[in-house]
């Protein structure tokens, strides 16, 4: 393992999800900056407080918090830091789009419910899912006044120089931070062991999987010498090889779905049960499977290989 992280400290924090931990990153130098925040749960707060205490600091001592993206396990405690006087930064795109998931939760929940129905989720499942989403919402402290970062911007974080790069796909407003020495703070833009979920959610950009594949290309083009990743890892050494592996995985899934559609039109829900046949997936995992299937179908639609039939629930049909 390359330990030349000089002034970057991965901080694993427990989360109640299958990955078990989210890796925050403490940037230490001329000051102290935290990247990502975990969920608002006592275990997570204690882990963060312990990690900061090892560096002689308390949460309110941070100079800034930077969020790679708005998912609960990265964003959940942002408002807690902000309430202690720490400015919270997100990509401008994330503030405009994704932040509304949590800052305007009720309308987002209703729009999401309509989107679930439109793409074939059964009513009983939707009822369970709404409870899961409401429970997650209770573990989130949205920042009131997130400050914007811009794609391509150079920033000094704790006296270290980074460039901000927009990497949509896993989330519309996902950012990564590239340090001058080629170390990438990657969030969930690329992961080891699991592939980042790519979903078509209500209000998502038109083709999240297309975005995601382009973001993998972009990351390869940055030629990072190592990446700190949001789950597992925490250090991913061969970023280029992993990016190509993930790309192949999605191409395989696109082929699988096209093969299934050759048998006749199907909804995203029906196809998600074939693409992810595992039994015993939790409600949240089943929802990720559905959203990921839909993202693949929408990508095929953008490639002109599939069309959506004008009906509810929407069935997708192979073109030609």
- Piece of the chain touching Zn ion by CB under 5 A; list 12-20, 68-76, 120-128, 276-284: 68-76
- Asked if 200 interacts with Zn ion (CB under 5 A), we say no
Nearer to Zn ion (CB atom), residue 188 or residue 192? 188
Residues 224-261, buried b or exposed e (16+ Cβ, 10 A)?
A: bebbbbbbbbbbbeebeebbeebbeebeebbeebbebb
Least separation in angstroms between residue 170's CB and Zn ion is 6
- Asked if 71 interacts with Zn ion (CB under 5 A), we say yes
- Piece of the chain touching Zn ion by CB under 5 A; list 153-161, 185-193, 233-241, 302-310: 185-193
Nearer to Zn ion (CB atom), residue 129 or residue 300? 129
Nearer to Zn ion (CB atom), residue 22 or residue 300? 22
Which strand (E) or helix (H) includes residue 24? strand 21-29
Measured from the Cβ of residue 283, the count of other Cβ atoms closer than 10 Å reads: 15
Nearer to Zn ion (CB atom), residue 71 or residue 250? 71
Residue 26: Cβ-neighbour burial (10 angstroms; 0-12, 13-18, 19+): buried
- Piece of the chain touching Zn ion by CB under 5 A; list 70-78, 109-117, 140-148, 220-228: 70-78
Count of residues that bind Zn ion according to CB under 5 A = 2
| CA distances from residue 18 to 40, 236, 281 in whole angstroms, order as listed | 17, 20, 10
Least separation in angstroms between residue 61's CB and Zn ion is 27
- Asked if 188 interacts with Zn ion (CB under 5 A), we say yes
With CB atoms as reference, the residue minimizing the distance to Zn ion is 71
Secondary structure of 39-82 in the HEC alphabet? CCCHHHHHHHHHHHHCCCCCHHHCCEEECCCCCHHHHCCHHHHH
Nearer to Zn ion (CB atom), residue 71 or residue 99? 71
Least separation in angstroms between residue 234's CB and Zn ion is 15
Sequence-distant (≥ 6) Cβ neighbours of residue 237 within 8 angstroms: 1, 2, 226
Least separation in angstroms between residue 91's CB and Zn ion is 14
- What is the maximal distance between C-alpha atoms in the chain? 65
Residue 101 sits at φ, ψ, to 5 deg, of: -50, -40
- Piece of the chain touching Zn ion by CB under 5 A; list 183-191, 245-253, 291-299, 305-313: 183-191
Contact residues toward Zn ion (CB under 5 A) are 71, 188
């Amino acid at each position: 393992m390359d330990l030349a992280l000089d002034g970057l400290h991965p901080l694993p924090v427990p989360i109640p999800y299958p990955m078990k931990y989210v890796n925050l990153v403490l940037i230490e130098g001329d000051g102290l900056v935290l990247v990502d925040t975990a969920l608002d749960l006592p275990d997570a707060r204690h882990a963060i407080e312990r990690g900061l205490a090892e560096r002689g600091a308390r949460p309110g001592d941070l100079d800034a918090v930077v969020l790679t993206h708005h998912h609960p396990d990265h964003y959940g405690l942002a408002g807690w830091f902000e309430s202690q006087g720490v400015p919270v930064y997100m990509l401008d795109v994330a503030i405009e789009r994704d932040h509304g998931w949590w800052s305007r939760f009720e309308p987002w929940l209703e729009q999401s419910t309509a989107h679930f129905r439109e793409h074939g989720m059964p009513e009983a499942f939707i009822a369970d899912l709404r409870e899961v989403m409401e429970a997650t919402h209770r573990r989130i402290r949205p920042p009131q006044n997130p400050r914007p970062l811009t794609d391509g911007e150079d920033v000094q974080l704790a006296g270290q120089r980074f460039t901000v790069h927009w990497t949509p796909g896993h989330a519309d407003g996902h950012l990564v931070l590239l340090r001058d020495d080629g170390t990438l703070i990657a969030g969930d833009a690329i992961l080891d062991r699991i592939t980042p979920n790519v979903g078509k959610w209500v209000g998502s950009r038109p083709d999240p999987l297309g975005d995601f594949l382009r973001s993998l290309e972009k990351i390869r083009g940055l030629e990072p010498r190592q990446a700190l990743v949001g789950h597992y890892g925490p250090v991913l050494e061969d970023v280029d090889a992993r990016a190509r592996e993930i790309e192949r995985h999605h191409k395989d899934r696109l082929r699988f779905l096209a093969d299934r559609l050759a048998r006749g039109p199907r909804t995203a829900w029906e196809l998600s049960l074939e693409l992810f046949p595992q039994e015993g997936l939790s409600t949240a995992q089943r929802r990720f499977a559905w959203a990921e299937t839909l993202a693949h179908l929408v990508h095929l639609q953008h490639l002109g290989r599939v069309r959506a039939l004008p009906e509810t629930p929407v069935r997708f049909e192979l073109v030609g």
